[in-house]
Chains A and B, each alone.
Chain A
Amino acid sequence: MTVWDDLAGQSDAIAVFRAAATVPSAGESAEPRGDEASVRSSMTHSWLITGPPGSGRSNLAYAFAAALLCPDAGCGVCPHCQQVAARTHPDLAALATDRVIITIDEVRRLVTSAQFSPSVGRYRVMVVEDADRMTERTSNLLLKVLEEPPPRTVWILCAPSAADLLPTIRSRVRTVRLRVPDVADVAELILRRVDVDEQTALRSAREAQSHIGMALRLATNPEARDRRAETLRIALDLRSVSDAVIGAARLLQIAGDDAKAITAERDAEEREHTLRSLGVEPGAAVPMALRSHIRQLEEDQKRRATRSLRDGIDRILVDLLSLYRDVMKVQLGSGGDLVNTELDSDVRSAASASTPSATLATMDAIALARARIGANVAPALALESMLVTAVQKEG
């Protein structure tokens, strides 16, 4: 077992990081060797991992962190590897946010902690999970440490794409791009991690369009599957403006339920994890001294819940887009596998009932709804308008 095992379809990126992790750190090889220059060139102090949501950016970042901190280059079982997995390793500092932006204070704290030298390992590793969520001012603060990195610190930034960062930061980091993993890779990962049959694993990977987190959820959570199926059914059954308005209300409910389910799962997990790390068994009373700690966690969770409806709507829109992309594929006869193969006959009849330009208009309407909800338009109105466009089959 190694820390690289559970990363679907990213062998190229893994090869880069493995090579980097095996380079001795500056302090270790006092005597320069002949091939030092070439060996050293595979290691650098600042990295950027880019890839679409669900491709496993942050998982890869932590695997690399473990490989840098583990005496055995990421064995996956030693205390170092386990501490990285639990985010408790003394030489790891991680910045993950559920808010829309990373605050300047969070980055300031991280930058300060980067000045300490490693306490037990070869490196101090700093992970910033959503480096795209920084304002320019915050980015500039980060830029300063990237320009003059304290010795033996390694920065690993993650973002959807390099274009999401300031050019000045981009030029300081070595970028490793993840690809969208194949459906087969994701299915294989699901089979390794959870107890489901191959059929379910493949279907979930396909329906999640290779988004690893979503695929795992679809594979293991029948309610999530039902919600997805109902979402597509609503779109397929649209006949009138009345259907559109009623359908939009239902979609909002589904998004809300989905958001609630995800939030509840994550909150409970997080609470248990926190309690355990504080030494409290599940179900036991929380000692007085730790209560403020828990209260803080609960407040953070509450704040996060406000963002989750938007995320729930986003997931629904991604699912709807997959349906209309399938319809378009059939209409254009372009071949290739459908995402929603289980709905093959529905997709075909939807394709013959409308035109490619109408389908395109619907796909644009989905993108527009998403942008509008992002700009604070009432979600009900944005979804209603989107489904009204979907009703207009003439384009």
Chain B
Amino acid sequence: MAVRKAAPSRAKAPAIAQLSWNQIRPAPVVLVSGTEGFLADRAIRYLRDFLKEEDPSLEVSDVQADDYAPGELLTLASPSLFDEARMIRVANVEKCTDEFIIEALHYLEQPADRTCLILRHGGGVRGKKLLDAIRGGLGGGVEVVCAELKKESDKVAFVQAEFATAGRRVAPGAVRALVAAFSDDMAELASSCQQLISDGAGDVTEQLVNKYYGGRVETNAFTVADAAIAGRYAEALISLRQALASGADPVPMVAAFAMKLRTMAKLQGARGGSAQLAAKFSLAPWQVDRARRDLQGWSDQGLGRCIQMLAETDAGVKGAGRDPVYALERMIGLVSARGER
């Protein structure tokens, strides 16, 4: 590997400011790029609220770049009688027509006064020429990058930022429970944070999250998994029965075990500081510390056997087996023995 292939020739680094979604600010042109539609919507809404506050007579208009009627941009941006401030929101730039590219480039040569043009581009190569021009500084713009929050650590950071912005303290367990419950829907995750923020004034604890989203947050599942992984078989079995009796679903139970064992497996034999490993495996540092503690007494083979058992159990609770409860109990048995049986 001494000789590396030359990196493919890329576009130059952007010449304009690159902002995260919550740093959005007015500019003649604001490019909102990236695949996380929810964050993009939110960023654009923030900017609108901000501009509206500055100038309540703000005129907001919407353009669909994939349905673009020639001349639309110029018409919307041309000075009106009262010279109100203007905000033009352009959606679907990733599917824009050729006409739109031409006219937008033309517009950017000389952007209108007191007008903020917002281009929402959801990713892909369509409109690259326009994007490159904006990134090169044409029109004097900024770019707000709304990349998908894929990593769990990003979601954790998102939740922490939500509470920090509102000046509320939140326990790590509460953050974990929220992220676990709403991990596949950012909009839901954000709205559940907002609900917790608006409904009280005290610290947000895991218990509180559980009270609010008890049906969704399988804190019970984590209780069971924690006990089993620590080798406390009887305790794990009892909490399993309690969880099932209170209506817990077996499927998230397996998912909780999988989440924990997966993190342990990643860290098995890994060297380095928590922060470094957290970055490497897209985890929060507390998850790294926790997994390292959990790994006490586990062998590589034992971990492997348990992971195989999880897959079998997942199949079992999803219909392959006749008795999901038996499948869960068998899994707990093997995990409590650290896979050594």
Chain A residues at the B interface, C-beta cutoff of 8 Å: 240-242, 244-246, 264, 283-286, 291, 369, 372, 375-378, 380-382, 384-385, 388-389, 391-392
Contacts and interface: CB of A to CB of B under 8 A. Distances in A.
Contacts of A241: 265, 268, 300-301, 303-304, 307
Given A245-B307, A285-B99, A375-B318, 9 more contacts: A240-B300, A245-B262, A285-B69, A377-B311, A377-B315, A381-B310, A382-B311, A385-B310, A388-B304
Interface string B66-109: 11111000000000000000000000000001110000000000
B304 A381 contact: no
A83 B293 CA distance: 67
B330 interface: no
Contacts of B319: 375-376
A54 to B, nearest CB: 28
B314 A378 contact: yes
Contact of A291 (B67, B97, B268, B301): B67
B269 interface: yes
Nearest to B251: A378
A369 to B, nearest CB: 8
29 contacts: A240-B268, A241-B304, A242-B265, A242-B267, A242-B270, A244-B265, A245-B262, A245-B266, A284-B97, A284-B98, A284-B99, A285-B67, A285-B97, A372-B311, A372-B315, A372-B320, A377-B314, A377-B318, A378-B314, A381-B258, A382-B314, A384-B265, A384-B307, A384-B310, A385-B307, A385-B311, A388-B307, A389-B308, A392-B304
Nearest to A381: B311
Contacts of B267: 242
Given A244-B304, A286-B67, A381 B268 contact: no
B255 interface: yes
Contacts of A388: 304, 307-308
A241 B311 CA distance: 14
A210 B12 CA distance: 41
Contacts, number: 87
Interface residues of B, number: 33
B289 interface: no
B226 interface: no
Interface in B280-331: 300-301, 303-304, 307-308, 310-312, 314-315, 318-320
B68 A245 contact: no
Nearest to A264: B124
Contact of B315 (A264, A286, A375, A392): A375
